[in-house]
A and B are shown apart, each in its own frame.
Chain A
Amino acid sequence: MCRNFNCLDELYRTEFGAVYQCNLKNCYWLEFAGEWYSLNVSDFLFFKKEVDSIDIVSMLVDSSRHSDVVVLQSYRARRCFVLNAVEILQLKDLLSAARFMIELNSVIQECLSYSPSTSVK
Chain B
Amino acid sequence: MKDLLRLKTSLKEEIENILNEQIKVEAHSSSIYLAMSSWCDDQGLDYSAQFFEKQAAEERVHMMKFFKYVNDRGGRAISPEIKNIPKDFESFRAVFEMALEQEMHVTQQINNIADKCMKSKDFVTFQFLQWFLEEQIEEEYVARRILEIFDVVGEEGTGRWEIDKHVQKVSYSGE
Contact = CB atoms under 8 A, between A and B. Distances in A.
Interface of A: 9, 21, 23, 26-28, 40-42, 45-46, 102-103, 105-106, 109-110
Interface in B130-158: none
Contacts of A9: 1
Interface of B: 1-9, 13, 76
Given A42-B76, A46-B76, A21 B4 contact: yes
B76 A105 contact: no
A105 B8 CA distance: 14
A106 B5 contact: yes
Contacts of A110: 6
Chain B interface main SS type: helix
Contacts, number: 36
A97 to B, nearest CB: 15
Given A41-B4, A109-B3, 10 more contacts: A9-B1, A21-B1, A23-B1, A26-B2, A26-B7, A42-B8, A102-B5, A105-B3, A106-B3, A109-B6
A109 to B, nearest CB: 4
